[in-house]
Amino acid sequence: MRISTAQIYQGSLNAMLDNQSSLSHTQLQMSTGRRILTPADDPVGSAAVLDLNQAIDNTHQYQANADVATGRLQLGESTLGDVGNLLQRVRELSVQANNDTQTPETRRSISTELRQLRSQLIGLANTRDATGEHLFAGFKGNSQPFVTNAAGQVTYVGDPGSRYLQVGPGQQVVDGEPGSAVFMGIRNGNGTFTTLDNPANTGSGIIVPGTVVNPGAYVADSFQIQFTSATTYDVIDTSTATTVLAAQTYTDGAAINFNGIQVILNGQPGATDSFTVSPSANQDVFSTMQNIITALETYPNTQAGIAGLHNAMNRGMVDIDQAMGSMLDARARAGARLNTLDGQKSANDNFLLLAKQSLSNVQDLDYAEAASRLNQQLLALQATQQTFVKVQGLSLFNYLR
């Protein structure tokens, strides 16, 4: 077999280049700490690395979303706590103002503080988060959700939307609630029905917000307790125009029962006075406070006026209780979501730890093995170079000198 000098040179050169390439690849692996530098190094491992990196990136985004949701929920829960404290103060002032020892002057002083509290409540309802978005505006976070018109009425101009954030695979959490649900959609009265005195009443009758004692017999109609004399009354279902009770004898402080409802009348109603019992409706907390303020500032210091004031204050305190319950419910929901976030963030952290361990097992370099391989490749390159030096001297012309 004939081997030319050119073949010898080319073969030696190819061997040296191959050894240099292997040595360079190992050096690059050691400098980066990665076993897989290109998909050709390990096609199956490369696919696994891509999947693991994507899962890790997604989980990091889940954690970022969870942090955002946690911040908003914590601020919202704190704000609702402040609202609850404010409403508790409103109730204390209402109880104080409802006392017969108060004078018109002291009641006006109380109404002044209540006006300040109402303004403070509007400010709390328009609270912004760290990014400048309003907490209770729904999807309209860049717009102020509660606005006051010239008459002092508060209107909600946000929307009823709730923003969901993905905090884990298949796990979404609401980062807040719209103001329409927290501040506006509050059932007045006892949550089932509300009582109201006729503004034209002349007696001292005061109706106490009642209860449903027999839910099975309750019908969500409107009823009127109509006095036919100073000592007798009828109960009329005004929704069906039918008389439920007729010619009943009135006793101060005695319970009046009909259609599963129980209410109590105190004092001495006038001969033509009337009281209404109607199904509860949604009433915003700002209107509840305004009703209390209006009652303190408008009712005259007469027998009928004092009775009307007591009726209005009783309604106001029951409505405030409903508002406080709404705030507690909203805080409870926020707390439940925060607990969910804590659990999901912990699960995400555990997944990240396992995923990074798996990623390391697939793509990270075994330095001990790589160092041994580097020495072998370096020795092979040196041997190839020394062999080439020897081989290139094997020429017939060297003997013809």
Is 34-188+284-364 assigned to CATH 1.20.1330.10?
Answer: yes
Whether the predicted pLDDT of 1 surpasses 60: no
Enumerate helices (H) and strands (E) in the chain, giving the number of each. 7, 12
Task: Return d(Cα 367, Cα 364) in angstroms, integer.
Answer: 9
Q: 198 falls in which pLDDT band (50, 70, 90)?
A: very high
Instruction: Identify the weakest region by mean pLDDT among 10-14, 198-202, 314-318, 333-337.
Output: 10-14
Residue 358: which pLDDT band, with cuts at 50, 70 and 90? confident
Q: What is the pLDDT of residue 400?
A: 59
- For residue 36, give both structure tokens: 């897989």
- pLDDT at position 284: 96
**How many of the other CB atoms lie within 10 Å of CB of 179?**
25
More confident residue, 219 or 18: 219
The length of the chain is 401
CA dihedral for 54, 56, 60, 62, sign (positive or negative): positive
For residue 398, the model assigns a pLDDT of 61
Rounded distance between C-alpha atoms, residue 339 and residue 70, angstroms: 10
- At what angle are helices 367-392 and 5-32 packed, to 10 degrees? 160
pLDDT of residue 278: 96
Confidence label for 3 from pLDDT (cuts 50, 70 and 90): low
Q: Going by C-beta distance under 8 Å and a sequence separation of 6 or more, which residues neighbour residue 339?
A: none
Q: Which residues contact 72 (CB under 8 A, 6 or more apart)?
A: 129, 135, 175, 176
Domain-wise residue ranges, the chain:
34-188+284-364, 193-281
| Burial class for 190, CB neighbours closer than 10 Å (0-12, 13-18, 19+) | middle
The phi-psi region of residue 233 (left if phi > 0; otherwise alpha if psi is between -120 and 50; otherwise beta) is beta
**Per-residue pLDDT at 376:** 80
- Integer Cα distance of 74 and 90 in angstroms: 24
Taking 70 as the threshold, does the pLDDT of residue 379 lie above it? yes
Q: With contact defined as beta carbons under 8 Å apart, do 344 and 73 qualify?
A: no
Least confident of 16-25, 84-93, 110-119, 311-320: 16-25
Residues in a beta bridge with 166: 172
pLDDT in tens, 27-51: 777 777 777 777 777 788 778 888 8
DSSP string, 181-220: IIII--B-TTSSEEEEE-TT--S--EEEEEEES-TTT---
Residue 49, pLDDT score = 81
> Mean of the per-residue pLDDT values for the chain?
89
**pLDDT value of residue 136:** 95
